[in-house]
Structures are given as C-alpha cells and as structure tokens.
Structure 1
C-alpha cells in the first residue's frame, strides 16, 4: 500500500488506515483497516460506533478525505449531521471567472 521511496525497490510496504472518533477531547472509537484511503473505512467505523453505543453520532465533522457519494448518502439515510468537506472545495472556491 505504501511505496518505499528510500530504497527505490518498487516494492510496496504494508500500511494501515487508523480512524479515530473523538468528541469532547475523548477518543470514543478506534478502527484499524488496511484500506489505502479514508473513504472506505468511514461507514464501518460509524457502524462500530453504533454497535458500541447503541446510537449514531449526531454530527460528523471530517476533512475532504472522507468525501464520497456513498458516505454522504449513508449520513443522509442515518440522519447524521454532515460536516464533511467536499473534495476540491478550496479549488472550486478560489476559481477565477476565466476557468
């Protein structure tokens, strides 16, 4: 999953994606997966939270790495407040009229 830039062997090293759910300075959930990005482990992380606490979080705030149609749709169906930044938001916001 992670390319070894130092040895230039062309071999990928194993990597992990660690998701932390934090609220009021407390870590409520930790989820570890082998996925190369944050989009895929988002839903399983929220489901583990639901299994542990018996309810879904009221709101989720995350960076653009979690932005995907599936994740947005999941939050809408589960009635979770969505504060996930859309991908390329800064680029779209700063575009000039020439673009």
Structure 2
C-alpha cells in the first residue's frame, strides 16, 4: 500500500450573510481564531465547542496560519460591521429607552 497525501479542503464555509463558519457548525472562524490567539490548544478549542471535530479545529488553525493577512482583514471587517450594527441599534433604540421598556414588558411599571 502506498500512502498518497490528500489535499483536504479547508473546513470553512461562508454562509448567506458572508460569515465564515466551520463547515457543518455554527462556530465562526472568529471564535476559533480568537481562542487560538488567546493561547488555547486545538484540543481545548474542540472541548469548548463540542460541535467541532478536532480535525476541523486543526484545519481552521492551519488555514489561519497560512492566511494571516486575509484573516486579519476579514476580522477587521467583521469588527467594523459589528460596530456599525451596535451604533445603529443605539441610535434606534438608545440604551436608556431600552432599560425603560424592560419593566413594562415584564408587566411592571
């Protein structure tokens, strides 16, 4: 038998909103990369997120290490989108107005 190294595709996929997820899960690339950057091992990440297979965690880390600049740009874009959504929600709802509505929704005034 001869071992032929396979070229496995990356375990990542983009959803309809453009968010990169570990294929077959709802765990984002952001989540895995952040945990890895904070010093978590692949095994620790797989334990924290049971939906992830260890091989997919390694594949995601492999992708990150080979595409650091592109991943960094993607993460900055995600941060910008998140900040814009937060700002829009604060303008639309305001923190004070949101807190004021909570007791009314619970039936208290």
Please indicate, yes or no, whether the TM-score normalized by the shorter chain is above 0.5.
Answer: no
Structure having the larger proportion of residues in strand: 1
Structure having the larger proportion of residues in helix: 2
TM-score normalized by the length of structure 2: 0.27
